Chains A and B, each alone.
Chain A
Amino acid sequence: MDGTLFLQLLVSGLLIGGVYALISIGLTLIFGVMRIVNFAHGEFLMLSMFAAFWLFHFTGLSPYLLAPLVILLLFAYGVAIYVLVIRRTIGSPMVVQIFATVGLGLFMQNAALVLWSGDFRTIQTPASTALLRFAGIQVSQSMMIASLVAIVIALILFAFMAWTYPGKAIRATVQDRVGAQLMGVNIDRVFMMTFAIGSALVGIAGALLAPAYPIFPSVGANFGLASFVVVVLGGMGSMTGALLGGFLIGVVETFSGFFIDAALKQAVYFLVFILVLVFRPTGLLGQRGAEEIGLK
């Protein structure tokens, strides 16, 4: 196989991986801090893509300019969902923790179907189809942007966790809920903030993906499953793990799609997923319990 093809596959894989990483960061943050697996994660992504679509539809502005608005909307949505649903699930039996968000996902996906129908919608801008060319390979501009943003966001989150007061409060909560509470940390506030930030991060992902992918009510299903794979592979709760896991899954998907069969590329990563869960449930970078959220 010639070098250019290999390079093209590798770069495409890394770019898809960047997209996966971007989607997964919010999921891993929420799990790391709250120990809650948001089974509705893909539907949050779907919602933010629709938000981007409608804002674009009504204003005609560039989706990249509208991204801050989408982020804000998803932050507010995260707060609302935390107050209505998530708050009650913390410390509840497993069935509540799992099926509250499973139900939420079902609700969101089908509410979107009722409200906006199952049609595919696209945001047509010059940016959405633009290709960058170098060294004989082609790169989609919008996916390039998504990947770079994923890395930047991970860096910002590191800084936030390491140096700001809310970041320290979050880390304290992760290490010892009771201890943090005794030191005057408002745990409920920390959880609300974490969930809202996690949701806002999905908002960024949705805003950046909206120009590159068709938007429809079940678009979140596949991306959501992919982000579970990424997060488990990287280590639940680990930011670096999410980045690494995202890039790995992207490359695995692209290569298996090319060399085995495009229809089986998902099967390959689900197999990887099961193998990781079985042989190393803590993932590549996760520790038992993933205590040091954000700093690994």
Chain B
Amino acid sequence: MDKLRNIIGKNQAQGAGGAGAPAKARDLRLKLGVLAVLLLLPILLQNEPYYQEILTFVFLWGAMSGAWNIVGGYAGKFSLGHAAFFGIGAYTSGLLYTKLGISPWLGMFGGMLLSVIFALLIGVVTLRLKGKFFALCTIAFGMLVEIMAVYLRGVTGGSEGLLIPYEPGFWNMTFASKVVWAYIFLALMLGVYGVSRWLDKSALGYRLSALREDEDAAEALGVNTLAGKLSSITISAAITALGGSLFAQYFLWLEPNFCVSLDLSQQFALISIIGGMGTAIGPLVGAAIITPLQIFLRAAFGSAASGMSMMIYGFLLVVVVLYMPKGIVVEVRDRLRARRTKAVAGVVEREVSNVA
């Protein structure tokens, strides 16, 4: 009997609990490997402008849906108006730069500040709303910002868009080399990943998941759900605005129809959902799948079928939501885990029958 207990103890140590140390080391090696590849890719692709652009957008949209994930995935508040924050960031720094000559490096803080103010406003007024009603309210907010961006023609350039002059220079945040941009967006994406990892382990993160799973129960247990909601939405809005400011200087052309549109809001959400909501890595995986797909499809079908990529997006979203609602990352991880558990269980069973 003691022998049996020993065997089980040993296997447990190797299997579930004790696999910790080697698995962690393996995990770290994997992460460092991925990081090294990400750091090398922009340089390796510098003579391949097409792939370079895909890479840059993977980083940008990965970062932006990662930011959406902080409020959508971690706090479970599904915003369909995040393009408004993106647009506020883009237009604030873009306008400060083109009209007043203020460097985008400073202007981007203006955009973040303005976005945070709007986020607090939205957070406070929607505090009673749950699920679908919160989503509806954020749609209305996004539409309001889009309408204003078109309406204030004199300032924003209206629907013709705002052209930002191309004058390369560090202080102008305008770079002749696309490699620089790939690294800037990579840094942004890694920053978002860092914030998400911190949320995985911090008290705020736990508060958010309590609020996501059951708001009333969390409140009853003494979790300050309002503080949780407000902090997640402000963090998310600030990062989204930062992304908008950077995008403005990268793209040098702002159009309400694109950068404040409902389509863009939906894109942030769907990348995160398809990849895996509520996980740090999910949105990045989502972006790595969706963004190249979008650009390839656009190249393959051209303007003749401009709706093709969004059509496939929509289809993917429906399929993922219905058949793997936790997203690709979580689904794959769960399957792998289930297999590993099965393997461990198999070993135990064999050893037990040997003893017997």
Pair from one complex: yes
A residues engaging B (CB < 8 A)? 37, 85, 88-89, 92-100, 102-114, 118, 217, 221, 225, 228-229, 232, 261, 263-264, 266-267, 270-271, 273-274, 277-278, 281
> Which 6 A-B residue pairings sit nearest by Cβ, starting from the closest?
A106-B314, A113-B307, A103-B317, A107-B314, A110-B307, A110-B311
> Which one of B262, B310, B321 contacts A110 once the chains associate, using CB atoms below 8 Å?
B310
Contact A281 B128 (CB under 8 A): yes
Contact B144 A277 (CB under 8 A): no
CA distance A60 to B135 in the complex (A): 42
Contact B150 A263 (CB under 8 A): yes
Over the window 304-322 of chain B, the binary record of Cβ atoms lying under 8 Å from chain A Cβ atoms (1 yes, 0 no) is 0111111101111110011
Contact A112 B307 (CB under 8 A): yes
**B70 shortest CB reach to chain A, Å:** 15
CA distance A193 to B150 in the complex (A): 42
Contact A106 B266 (CB under 8 A): yes
Q: A277-B129, A278-B125 are in contact. Are A96 and B325 (CB under 8 A)?
A: yes
CA distance A266 to B144 in the complex (A): 8
Q: A107-B311, A110-B307, A278-B126 are in contact. Are A228 and B136 (CB under 8 A)?
A: yes
**B303 shortest CB reach to chain A, Å:** 10
Contact A281 B129 (CB under 8 A): yes
The count of A-to-B residue pairs whose CB atoms sit within 8 angstroms is 139
By a CB distance below 8 angstroms, the chain A residues around B318 are 85, 100, 103-104, 107
B181 within 8 A of A: no
Contact A99 B310 (CB under 8 A): no
Count of chain B residues near A, Cβ 8 A: 44
CA distance A228 to B305 in the complex (A): 30
B131 within 8 A of A: yes
By a CB distance below 8 angstroms, the chain A residues around B147 are 263-264, 266-267, 270
CA distance A100 to B266 in the complex (A): 12
**B269 shortest CB reach to chain A, Å:** 7
Select from chain A the residue with minimum beta-carbon distance to B158.
A263
By a CB distance below 8 angstroms, the chain A residues around B80 are 102
Contact A99 B269 (CB under 8 A): yes
Select from chain A the residue with minimum beta-carbon distance to B73.
A95
A-B contact pairs, 5 of them (CB 8 A): A95-B321, A102-B317, A107-B315, A229-B140, A270-B144
> Which one of B132, B133, B139, B144 contacts A97 once the chains associate, using CB atoms below 8 Å?
B132
Contact A274 B307 (CB under 8 A): no
> Which one of A37, A99, A113, A270 contacts B317 once the chains associate, using CB atoms below 8 Å?
A99
Scoring A96, A100, A270 by chain B CB atoms within 10 A of each residue's CB, the highest score goes to: A270
B residues engaging A (CB < 8 A)? 76, 78, 80, 125-126, 128-129, 131-133, 135-137, 139-141, 143-144, 147-148, 150-151, 262, 266, 269-270, 273, 277, 305-311, 313-318, 321-322, 325
- 16 additional A-B residue pairs with CB within 8 Å, beyond A94-B76, A103-B313, A106-B314: A85-B322, A89-B322, A94-B131, A95-B273, A100-B317, A102-B269, A106-B310, A106-B313, A109-B307, A217-B307, A267-B148, A267-B151, A270-B143, A271-B144, A273-B136, A277-B129
**B230 shortest CB reach to chain A, Å:** 15
**B260 shortest CB reach to chain A, Å:** 13
By a CB distance below 8 angstroms, the chain B residues around A266 are 143, 147
Contact A97 B151 (CB under 8 A): no
> Which one of A93, A99, A114, A277 contacts B308 once the chains associate, using CB atoms below 8 Å?
A114
Contact B151 A114 (CB under 8 A): no
Contact B78 A277 (CB under 8 A): no
**B90 shortest CB reach to chain A, Å:** 20
By a CB distance below 8 angstroms, the chain A residues around B129 are 277-278, 281
Contact A98 B131 (CB under 8 A): yes
CA distance A266 to B305 in the complex (A): 30
CA distance A217 to B317 in the complex (A): 20
Scoring B150, B314, B318 by chain A CB atoms within 10 A of each residue's CB, the highest score goes to: B318
By a CB distance below 8 angstroms, the chain B residues around A105 are 314
By a CB distance below 8 angstroms, the chain B residues around A278 are 125-126, 128-129, 137
Contact B321 A99 (CB under 8 A): yes
Select from chain B the residue with minimum beta-carbon distance to A118.
B306
Select from chain B the residue with minimum beta-carbon distance to A113.
B307
Scoring A37, A92, A261, A274 by chain B CB atoms within 10 A of each residue's CB, the highest score goes to: A274
**B111 shortest CB reach to chain A, Å:** 22
**A242 shortest CB reach to chain B, Å:** 15
> Which one of A94, A100, A112 contacts B132 once the chains associate, using CB atoms below 8 Å?
A94
CA distance A93 to B140 in the complex (A): 23
By a CB distance below 8 angstroms, the chain A residues around B314 are 103-110
**A239 shortest CB reach to chain B, Å:** 20
**A287 shortest CB reach to chain B, Å:** 15
By a CB distance below 8 angstroms, the chain B residues around A228 are 136, 139
> Which one of B131, B132, B139, B148 contacts A225 once the chains associate, using CB atoms below 8 Å?
B139
**A46 shortest CB reach to chain B, Å:** 12
Contact B135 A98 (CB under 8 A): yes
**A47 shortest CB reach to chain B, Å:** 14
CA distance A110 to B141 in the complex (A): 24
Contact B325 A95 (CB under 8 A): yes
By a CB distance below 8 angstroms, the chain B residues around A267 are 143-144, 147-148, 151
> Which one of B151, B269, B307 contacts A264 once the chains associate, using CB atoms below 8 Å?
B151
CA distance A108 to B318 in the complex (A): 12
CA distance A108 to B277 in the complex (A): 24
By a CB distance below 8 angstroms, the chain B residues around A102 are 80, 266, 269-270, 317
Select from chain A the residue with minimum beta-carbon distance to B132.
A37
**B140 shortest CB reach to chain A, Å:** 4
Select from chain A the residue with minimum beta-carbon distance to B278.
A95
CA distance A108 to B312 in the complex (A): 10
CA distance A107 to B305 in the complex (A): 13
Select from chain B the residue with minimum beta-carbon distance to A263.
B151
**B245 shortest CB reach to chain A, Å:** 25
**B138 shortest CB reach to chain A, Å:** 10
CA distance A100 to B317 in the complex (A): 7
**A33 shortest CB reach to chain B, Å:** 15
